[in-house]
Amino acid sequence: MWINADLGEGGAHDETMFNVIDWANIACGGHAGDEQSIRQACALALEHDVEVGAHPSYPDRAGFGRQKPEISPAVLLNELKQQMELFENIAAKMGCTSSHFKSHGQLYNDAAVQPAEAEILIKLAHAFPHLKMLALAESPLVAWARSAGIQVIEEAFPDRAYLGNGTLALRSHPGALLHDPVQVKAQAALMIRGGPLPCLDGSSRVVVAQTLCVHGDSPQAVENAQAVRAALTEHDQDMFNGAD
């Protein structure tokens, strides 16, 4: 299991985050980011041997990709392709080989469960067949994309609270964002070991994933990423010592 982070979004801790993570999802103009920030992120990725991928979103810079625009599916698909192409072109010029892509914000949440938005991401994946798709673990999108021949990496979020149906609690919900690195580490450990997560609706759920995401725009981004890294390291040590 490895750590990925959403970066290139204007956060204050990007450079330090590259010391901790394995994969970086780089904003490419939809909600944040521009040519300069993509180049900076790719340079840091090369320096720290971090895999990179595009992080496209609804075209919504004012709302940081958390507002769904009133545009047709065809226009949205074309917009996402342009974001992806911008990132791919810059990364290639810098000698970065992208490995994946991950949608951002409201698009990510919509596509996880809604067929129309999922279809757009599947078409986007077919337009970039060399890339894996990161998707919410155990969401309908995972099955839909795999049925369409897409290689999917399932991810979970140690710094976000879940609902019992496997979706992320809305950011507006009290307790939806986990700020305490101790709490983030505990949730990461449950995800790594397959233990049941306590959910905000009072239920519990086991979340099985291949990668854990830490949000780079959080004020505690570095501490949270370090907490997740510690949870992974401790699990590996336990496995080596035969504790599990």
Averaged pLDDT of the chain: 95
CATH number of 146's domain: 3.20.20.370
Domain interval for residue 95: 2-241
How many domains does the chain fold into?
1
CA atoms of 121 and 112, how far apart (whole Å): 10
64-106 pLDDT tens trace = 999 999 999 999 999 999 999 999 999 999 999 999 999 999 9
Residue 158 has pLDDT above 60, yes or no: yes
Cα–Cα nearest to 76, from 34, 32, 124: 124
- Measure the CA–CA gap between 239 and 243, rounded to whole angstroms: 6
| % the chain with pLDDT above 70 | 98
Class of residue 82 by CB neighbours under 10 A (exposed 0-12, middle 13-18, buried 19+): middle
Nearest-CA neighbor of 136 among 228, 233, 4? Answer: 4
Q: What's the pLDDT tens digit per position in 32-71? A: 999 999 999 999 999 999 999 999 999 999 999 999 999 9
